[in-house]
Amino acid sequence: MNEGLPEKPTEQWVHLNGKLTPKSEASVSIYDHGFLYGDGAFEGIRVYSGNVFKLEPHLCRLYRSAQALDINLGIDHAQLQNRVVETVRANQLESGYIRLSISRGVGLGLDPRQVAAGASIIISTEQLRLYPQEMYDQGLDVITASTRVPPAVCIDPQIKSLGRYVNNITAKMEANRVGAGEALMLNMVGNVAEATGDNVFLVKHGEIITPPTSDGALPGITRQVVMDLAKDMGITCRQLTITLYDVYNADEAFLTGTAAEVIAMTKCDNRRIGDGKPGSLTQRIINAFRAITAVDGVKV
């Protein structure tokens, strides 16, 4: 039946500091700064039908994060792209998730001067689905977490850093405790910033709005894709400060992220959003997003 096709590898491969390594043998030092202090950054990237989706924007954001953290990766975009593609090919990944993690390197102590030369760069692939199918069909029931996003004067939300996600994990635990699918996170002045792993979009009077990065939102790659799709579809999409009042009174709402893709939010803090079902404009965005993932990407 599969004559002429290579067999799927029995061993998963990880690109660890420039070398393909069997997953079972891949490890980092106990003194890696990412492990010790959350001193690093990461990207989650999707593969659809053999295409690495939006690889260049992901790599650009990673390099911006590294620049902000003053981490020298020691390789350029093209070399890092080659490593990503090589990892996907080695694992024969047709569709799935890529995790690209970096840290400052190895060294005990906070002082970066004590870190040995050479950043840690780790690329792995997995299957990942953030929400079960019924949540995509019916929409998410969401709560507002008491855990706030760190203010930009502490950790700039534009840096997709390892350390900042402790707050997101804590907020996700709040959602888990009450059986909610996701949690919204507010900034220190009480405006909506993002969800624990997603960006937030509202629909009101046929327009789409989303919080700006200045309010604590990560500049998500899927977020930007949706904003571009809305423009192409003739739908007004603006970055505006959003309050919980706006969420409760939206006509529709949805979340976006690399792992989540696009998913409707139909209930928040026990308030039904719109008619309590995934809205028509949300569905248009979902369909447009699915269409673009089939044609846009770096072919493996």
The CA distances from residue 229 to 29, 80, 194, 224, 266, in Å, are 43, 28, 20, 9, 22
The CA distances from residue 158 to 59, 194, 289, 296, in Å, are 14, 12, 23, 24
CB 208 within 8 A of CB 236: yes
Residue the block writes with tokens 């089939």: 294
3-state SS class at 143: strand
Give dist(CA 122, CA 100) in Å, integer: 6
Give dist(CA 256, CA 243) in Å, integer: 18
Residue 204 falls in the annotated catalytic set: no
Extract the tokens encoding 56.
């260049």
The set of residues, in sequence order, having a beta carbon less than 8 Å from that of 96 and lying 6+ positions away, is 46, 47, 125, 126, 127, 128
Helices and strands (H, E) in the chain, number of each type: 8, 16
Of 8, 19, 23, 160, the catalytic one is 160
Catalytically annotated residues: 160
